[in-house]
């Protein structure tokens, strides 16, 4: 028995062909699942009883069990879900002027070990299945009674460490017959797995790529992000250049501002040197402090000074407003609190 939300249209077609059925059936199934959002195969009225029985033999339809649902004063909502095997994951729903966006978790825990991050305090237990990512969207839409228009794969986990499942997830939610979330409305964020960044350049959908850079030099990056020891900054920037050349798309650079660590004017100038001339958009992010960690958020002044240096050097940059900080919305905080 398989969770049917693991299946892309291609996979459903293959399943149908093996049963000697016409592939157009997959379009009907997708419509029922993602448009009409049925919770039982019996509701598929344009499908024969016989085929419904077969579907029921091979698949099940399910949603996630929500155990905590917090709402912030700014409208941000945080969900803690329990998976079938008892593992916990979180999703964050943000309300923007352009619609609702959901921050999706890609792994149970995370092995990347970024020193400032709450998620990494709990080691990775396993990859999420494609369906477990799809169900985050469907479950949140159902609970909050809204439609999600934007997806950021920036929750717990490193999406490029669960590459195949994440790509299938993107294909499923982008499918025009189903949830139809536009590729340009989907962002996948990586801490910098160089091989996968290169591979992702061949992915046919126009999805946004975000890189968690957080430091402008190898020595500083190594101090705060262990992944920098596996892939150095030169290799990393080369993979980004390759990606931009191959796809012609702008890459988002995420940069958390950590007090007295990576928020100096010297860092800003180094960052400008590193990124100058590249088709990138820099997102400066106020650090969400984590109780167990010594790192502090930069002062307003340092943030503005940092921003000004980049602006003066003609880089595309924005200082991101923060959301949901009164509800443990920083990566992994709710899950980690609940597990302790
Ligand atoms: N592993 C992926 C995606 C998950 S983390 C990545 O590294 O990009 C999503 C983003 O949140 C990353 O940029 C990460 O560095 C950042 N982040 C982690 N902890 C944070 C915190 N406490 N405050 C602000 N941003 C944080």
What's the 158 CA to ligand 1 centre distance in angstroms? Answer: 9
pLDDT at 189 over 70: yes
pLDDT at 211 over 80: yes
Total-model pTM: 0.95
Taking residues 59-84, report their average pLDDT: 95
Bridge-based pairing of strands 77-82 and 65-71 is antiparallel
Tell me the pLDDT tens digit for each residue of 35-54: 999 999 999 999 999 999 99
What's the 117 CA to ligand 1 centre distance in angstroms? Answer: 7
Cβ contacts of residue 291 below 8 Å, gap of 6+? none
> Does the beta carbon of 212 sit less than 6 angstroms from any atom of ligand 1?
yes
Which of 78, 101, 116, 282 best tests ligand 1's pocket when mutated (most atoms within 8 Å of CB)? 116
pLDDT at 116 over 90: yes
pLDDT at 169 over 90: yes
Distance CA 268, CA 284 (A): 11
Res 173: pLDDT: 98
Which of 114, 261, 323, 337 best tests ligand 1's pocket when mutated (most atoms within 8 Å of CB)? 114
- Asked if 154 and 332 count as a contact pair (C-beta separation under 8 A), the reply is no
- Asked if 48 and 28 count as a contact pair (C-beta separation under 8 A), the reply is no
> Does the beta carbon of 333 sit less than 6 angstroms from any atom of ligand 1?
no
pLDDT at 261 over 80: yes
pLDDT at 329 over 60: no
Kindly give the number of the ligand 1 atom that is closest to the alpha carbon of 112.
1
What's the 49 CA to ligand 1 centre distance in angstroms? Answer: 47
> Does the beta carbon of 121 sit less than 6 angstroms from any atom of ligand 1?
no
What SS3 string covers 77-105?
A: EEEEEECCCCCEEEEEEEEECCEEEEECC
Tell me the pLDDT tens digit for each residue of 267-312: 999 999 999 999 999 999 999 999 999 999 999 999 999 999 999 9
What's the 257 CA to ligand 1 centre distance in angstroms? Answer: 12
Which of the residues are catalytic? 90, 331
């Amino acid at each position: 028995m398989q969770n049917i939300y693991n299946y892309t249209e291609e996979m459903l077609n293959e399943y149908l062909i093996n049963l000697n059925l016409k592939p157009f059936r997959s379009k009907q199934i997708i419509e029922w699942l993602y448009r009409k959002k049925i919770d039982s195969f019996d509701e598929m009225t344009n499908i024969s009883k016989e085929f419904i029985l077969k579907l029921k033999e091979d698949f099940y339809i399910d949603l996630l069990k929500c155990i905590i649902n917090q709402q912030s004063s700014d409208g941000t909502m945080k969900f803690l879900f329990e998976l079938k095997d008892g593992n916990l994951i979180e999703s964050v729903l943000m309300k923007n002027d352009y619609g609702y966006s959901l921050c999706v978790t890609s792994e149970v825990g995370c092995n990347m070990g970024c020193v400032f991050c709450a998620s990494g305090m709990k080691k990775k237990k396993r990859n999420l299945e494609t369906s477990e990512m799809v169900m985050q969207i469907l479950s949140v839409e159902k609970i909050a009674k809204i439609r999600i228009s934007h997806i950021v794969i920036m929750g717990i986990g490193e999406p490029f460490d669960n590459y195949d499942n994440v790509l299938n997830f993107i294909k499923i939610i982008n499918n025009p017959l189903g949830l139809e979330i536009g590729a340009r409305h989907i962002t996948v964020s990586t801490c910098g797995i160089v091989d996968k960044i290169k591979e992702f350049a061949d992915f046919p959908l126009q999805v946004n790529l975000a890189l968690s850079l957080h430091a402008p030099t190898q020595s500083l990056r190594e101090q705060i992000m262990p992944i920098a020891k596996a892939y150095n900054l030169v290799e990393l920037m080369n993979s980004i250049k390759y990606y931009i050349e191959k796809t012609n798309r702008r890459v988002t650079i995420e940069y958390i501002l950590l007090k007295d660590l990576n928020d100096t004017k010297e860092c800003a100038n180094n960052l400008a040197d590193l990124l100058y001339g590249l088709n990138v958009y820099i997102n400066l992010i106020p650090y969400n402090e984590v109780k167990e960690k010594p790192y502090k958020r930069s002062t307003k002044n340092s943030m503005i000074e940092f921003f000004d240096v980049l602006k003066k050097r003609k880089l595309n940059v924005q200082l991101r407003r923060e959301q949901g900080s009164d509800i443990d919305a920083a990566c992994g905080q709710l899950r980690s609190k609940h597990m302790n």
